Amino acid sequence: MEHEKRVPINNSLIAALPQKDRRHFLAGCEKVKLVLSEVIGEPGEALRHIYFPTDSFISLVRPIQGHTGLEVALVGNEGMHGISVVLGIDSSYSHVLVQGEGLAMRMDVASFRRELRLSQALQQLLNRYIYVRLCQLEQTAACTRFHVVEERLARWLLMTHDRAFSDELHITHEFLAFILGVRRVGITRAAGSLQKRNLISYRRGIITVLDRRGLEAASCNCYRADRTTYDDILGEKLQNMTICEDDMHTTSNQDIFKPRSSGPERAH
């Protein structure tokens, strides 16, 4: 049940803050463990906390009348949950589900609002992150319209692999179907095809990434597009980032999510 984590890690957004702002910010955070399949938000509910995953990750699933729903964002250590608060609203229209068990920093909404007022750097950084999310959402909308299930599945596995720091992803076909807005049978077929091509292997509730490069080839280029977007918009900000020396796991700069880096592959 326990993942074997490859790299303990910090949250990239927090890490990108100037040291002084970050110290202050972290002082207002608490570290929480997110449990697999935990629900930390429902449509209509007001947000109570802002989450900055470190080695956990969560997905936002938009419900839609008479259908299963569709994932509209996947948030790991490269991002945050609660962008609406940055924009002055604390409502949510989505289910918020823990996809990957692990730790996150979180802050209650009121404190977060205060931090935002205090730190221009935080404001600017999160504004950019919001723009990234907007672009990625546009990408997802188009992707969902045009690309076949197998490509979309490959894309999702890659995105998740980036955030999981493990080759083993804990998820069932049933749930993947929910996320991608297709039938379970559709996932079984697509996953079977990817397995036959030796890109992944799976057994009851666990999918193992075997060949990252192969998966990239099998996915639509929306995966690449998303990373490029992230890098284009947040790249320069993340350049300046420093290492958090708080009480969290220590980590080196390389470990932090850096899109389009030509760094070492995580698979194998």
Partner DNA sequence: AAACTGATGTACGTTAACGAACATAGAGCA
Partner DNA sequence: TGCTCTATGTTCGTTAACGTACATCAGTTT
Task: Name the residues that contact DNA, by CB under 7 A.
Answer: 1, 148-150, 172-174, 181-186, 188-189, 191-192, 202-206
SS3 32: strand
SS3 265: coil
- Per the document, the length of the chain is 268
Site residues for a copy of itself, window 27-66 (CB under 8 A)? Answer: 62, 64-66
Nearer of residues 138 and 205 to DNA, judged by Cβ: 205
Verify binding: residue 139, a copy of itself, rule CB under 8 A.
Answer: yes
Using CB under 8 A, which of 142, 148, 185, 217 touches a copy of itself? Answer: 142
Min dist CB 188 to a copy of itself, Å, is 19
Nearer of residues 168 and 232 to a copy of itself, judged by Cβ: 232
Verify binding: residue 233, a copy of itself, rule CB under 8 A.
Answer: yes
Quick one: tokens of 225?
A: 């597009």
Min dist CB 234 to DNA, Å, is 31
CA-nearest of 34, 13, 156 to 83 is 13
Min dist CB 3 to DNA, Å, is 14
Separation of alpha carbons 10 and 14, rounded Å: 8
SS3 7: coil
Separation of alpha carbons 135 and 225, rounded Å: 10
User: CA neighbours within 13 Å on the CB side: how many for 174?
Assistant: 2
Nearer of residues 62 and 249 to a copy of itself, judged by Cβ: 62
Please provide residue 98's backbone torsions phi and psi, each rounded to the nearest 5 degrees: -80, 115
Whether the CB-CB separation of 33 and 21 falls below 8 Å is answered with no
Min dist CB 221 to a copy of itself, Å, is 5
**Binding residues vs a copy of itself (CB under 8 A):** 62, 64-67, 69-70, 72, 83-84, 86-89, 91, 93-94, 124, 127-128, 130-131, 133-135, 137-146, 181, 220-222, 225, 229, 232-233
